[in-house]
Structure 1
Amino acid sequence: MTLTDLLEKKCLPGVTALPPAEVDTLLALIDTWHLADGKIVRAFDCKNYYDTLSFINAIAYVIHAEDHHPELVVTYNRCIVKFDTHSVNDGRGGLSINDFVCAAKIDAIFQQSFS
């Protein structure tokens, strides 16, 4: 799988948790993200509060269209995005391909419009 493959994928319902080796492989494709507490996480630094809110609005379309919603932590000039999939592992959560698809798409938005 390549970064282009991730960007072209759509999130699907009923996905399963990824094994650790596959998580590592996919994480290498989106190397600005890291694992923390069972989630993939990235902090996006913005110029000011308006820029931070503009970024959130820009990613809202993708999040809604993919029907895969992250945890967002918003401060004056930073948005921390955390993805995991609550429905895998019999509802205990974990990481699925959907997390990496959305992370790649959010990275592309940030790169194109906010960096």
Structure 2
Amino acid sequence: MPTNIPPRLSQDEIHSALSSLNGWSYEQERNCLIKEFTFKGFYKTMGFVNAVAFIANKELHHPDLEVSYNKCVVRYQTHDAGGITVNDIKCAKAIEALEA
């Protein structure tokens, strides 16, 4: 098991963090943060996916992605911590900055 895993956030901390993440929600069943992004065509979708991959590699924290023609669903969870940590919030905010 990797070292330096941040602690899981409480439900209150998760919901507080979501207030600063436009369109993200907490999926209780999978214990993850989730957002669906929609684009005008496959090329723009893949550009987004590549940008997310760049962020994930830079942060060493990788999301689960579902990719189709004009959308991408992003799910973040710190598997080693068994839930949401500050790393998930940080990466979701970095992805949000792509839309700015």
TM-score (norm 2): 0.90
Name stretches of at least 5 consecutive residues in structure 1 with no aligned partner.
1-12
Q: What are the residue-to-residue correspondences of 1:93-104 with 2, within 5 Å?
A: 93-104=82-93
Q: Within 2, Cα distance between the matches of 1:78 and 1:85?
A: 23
Q: Where does structure 1 differ by over 4 angstroms across 4 or more consecutive aligned residues?
A: none
The offset of 1:14, in angstroms, is: 1.6
> For this pair of structures, how many residues does the alignment match?
95
Match of 2:19 in 1: 28
The offset of 1:72, in angstroms, is: 0.1
The offset of 1:31, in angstroms, is: 3.2
SS of the equivalent of 2:58 reads helix
Q: Within 2, Cα distance between the matches of 1:75 and 1:42?
A: 14
Name stretches of at least 5 consecutive residues in structure 2 with no aligned partner.
none
Match of 1:9 in 2: none
The offset of 1:76, in angstroms, is: 0.4
Kindly report the root-mean-square deviation, in angstroms, between the aligned alpha carbons of the 2 structures: 0.9
